[in-house]
Structure 1
């Protein structure tokens, strides 16, 4: 299985990647689209002519972004819908209300290295937001994705996944001291594994799912980690928001990804599988694309939801 390569790279922007793509008559959902990467991703998708729904917690900000997108692209089919990934009732309301086929689902929303916190169900906040909420959303929209006939799911992960595999026996830090970066890493590994298993399970529906590292970009995601002044990443590796959204848009729109799923991309190209932490922004840990781990995570995710009566 050869790696997917494209003409795009580190400096490519979402607009450049989407140039020449026509998704008129198709529909897309982008979570966390009221700012940052989500807003840039939604903007580029709207530019292709697709009907785009911004799935957001903050409806006021969502409406503002939608107005800006319509104003700059001329696309009148930009919608806003409420979605709180940590609230199972909110996810159910969103999926129940959805009607008709769905071509692209971009699981973009997320939190990073936040203080220890748990949902009402007892789920660790980062695992709940970054994985379980998106798991429920995507499986809840399975019928809509299958109805499209060639749907794509895009999962925004991170090089942070190299910090931790999914610790299946203690995903909620019930027995080990909470560490914000290990929790973040685990949740981002879960996103990659979800893409692997969704592609396998839903192959008969022609649904593909891929995961990606957007790069180092200063957005609201860094609110718990010191933001722009943290100095974690050298300045020459920092991307603009538009550059950061490029890989998401590539996976959502490029003909080069037709029928391709279960893979992990960095800088608009598939990256290598690694067995040790890379020390760079490239590479996907072998445990994050392992099909046995992927199946086990799917089962665990279903069990967690079932135990909570959801």
Structure 2
């Protein structure tokens, strides 16, 4: 398996490179850092932890640490700053100690100096500001969170949650060189997004503004010059915010815009619902700006009849309908939990759960029969289930197939064939199969499909199943080319799901823990490719 050795070699090189950057060690005398502590973050990396209810001279502590580590590596992986008695972060707060990841939470900090992170500006890639009473700078003095952020050229991930900020000021993050993900949530006092707040960030992929009460978005707040890179805006506000005529019109990059509305719920909680209507004055220019702009916002049955939505109904007639979703799930308890979670976000979502065990061909046949009794047609089939297992060559499906091949391919294969008659009854059906980039390493072992007689390896079995997904989708497209059913196979990327729950458990602070925090996409982001293949009108003829 020379190709496999090559893959492992590449991964080892990457890990060694990361370790060489972040291999700082704790001081020989732990008292120089008191009351903060130096701990193991995982087997390789160290972290600094500043505890809650203790008096702390931030500048003094990190100056002492810097002197104690003179001539040594002063780079640490993570800083967890939870000190509840600290009220401000002054300039050069952490001396020349460098971090890749800083999490500031549950403190009394109201001000952060624009040079607070200057000593670590060349290494910091992730910053979390959470549950602190930080307030707006209002253009006064040197205490300005967003000025501090603009001085972090390698920052890719920013989270600002549960603060007292009332606005994202003009030019807050304009032209930042490396930001990829921006999360602003649960900032309940936030009302305004200033001009050019997020403009001209060429690397930007994802912005979420949730659990806020934003009612004003300035012109060109999200302006982006023309580029192929798509990005996502997830916006939760109210109908007032939807009226802003120029808020999204200056975005020249392809955008998936998710509009969600907040309504007061029981017990004072907030229940996210969709906007009641999509104002033409705001969103027609936005949609006209770029052929790849998309709006996602489910209107309920009453809103569908609202005359203010006529323009959108005429513009996209093929996507203007009520959708019923069936979820096939082996574990009905987990399935019910998923359904309740979705309905908690959208109480009017029409979702039904049916039992489906893809490792059992009998279960697949029963599911297809049950669905055919409930529906006269199927518009979209998404083959999304999958499993990865540990080194267990004797783990077979109920029908005698190796577990990964049997579940990931054979189950979907039979399900699709049984549902083709229902898909044919749709005016424009789609079949979407979720594969993985691992298919490139795969090989179909026709003479030993179960990889018996010592040929079994979990990675080989997995890549075989993912290659089978791709080959099946391609041959299906060929055989269905004369009917109105389009088929797609896709690689969703590296997503933080529990698909590896059958893999031998690993410490979250080790390999997968590192990947989860810095390399993996959230399920929301990771699902975008699947939704694109399932819903995008531009793919009708492809």
Asked if TM exceeds 0.5, the reply is yes
1:96 to 369, 372, 380: 369
CA distance 1:227–1:173, shift in 2 (3 Å): farther
Select the residue among 386, 389, 401 that pairs with 1:110.
386
> Is 1:15–1:242's contact at 8 Å kept on the other side of the alignment?
no
CA distance in 2, matches of 1:211, 1:92: 23
Using a 3 Å threshold, how does the CA distance of structure 1 residues 193 and 159 change in structure 2: closer, same or farther?
Answer: same
How do 1:116-155 and structure 2 match up within 5 A? 116=393, 117-155=395-433
In structure 2, relative to structure 1, the CA distance for the partners of 1:149 and 1:191 (3 Å cut) is same
Q: TM-score, normalised by structure 1?
A: 0.67
CA contact (8 A) 2:300 2:348 kept: no
Q: Residue by residue, what CA displacement relative to the aligned partner does 1:61-81 show, whole Å, maximum 9, x if unpaired?
A: 212221221231233421000
> 1:178 Cα deviation (Å)?
0.6
Which of 438, 454, 457 aligns to 1:179? It is 457
The change in CA–CA distance for 1:191 and 1:246 in structure 2 (over 3 A counts) is same
Aligned length: 234
Flag the 1:239–1:15 CA change in 2: closer, same or farther, 3 A.
Answer: farther
Specify which structure has the higher proportion of helix: 1
Deviations 1:259-295 (A, max 9, x none): 32xxxxxxxxxxxxxxxxxxxxxxxxxxxxxxxxxxx
Return the alpha-carbon distance in structure 1 between the equivalents of residues 346 and 495 of structure 2: 24
> Are 1:201 and 2:479 counterparts?
yes
- Whether contact under 8 Å (1:217, 1:238) holds in the other structure is yes
- Contact in 2 for aligned 1:11/1:239 (Cα 8 Å): no
Higher relative contact order (CA 8 A, sep 6+): 1
The answer (yes or no) to whether the contact 2:439–2:463 under 8 Å persists in 1 is yes
Distance 1:214 1:51 in 2: 23
Give the distance between the partners of 2:419 and 2:326, measured in 1 at CA: 14
Query: Please, what is the CA RMSD of the aligned residues?
Result: 3.0
- The structure where strand makes up a greater share of residues is 2
* d(CA) in 2 for partners of 1:244, 1:59: 24
Unpaired runs of at least 5, structure 1 = 1-5, 26-46, 261-310
SS of 1:96's partner is: helix
Q: Partner of 1:78 in structure 2? A: 351
Q: Is the 8 A contact 2:445 2:451 kept in 1?
A: no
CA distance in 2, matches of 1:194, 1:227: 36
Q: Distance in 2 between matches of 1:235 and 1:119?
A: 33
Unmatched segments (≥5 aa) in structure 2:
1-226, 235-255, 259-292, 302-319
| In structure 2, distance between residues paired with 1:102 and 1:7 | 33
Equivalent in the alignment of 2:337: 64
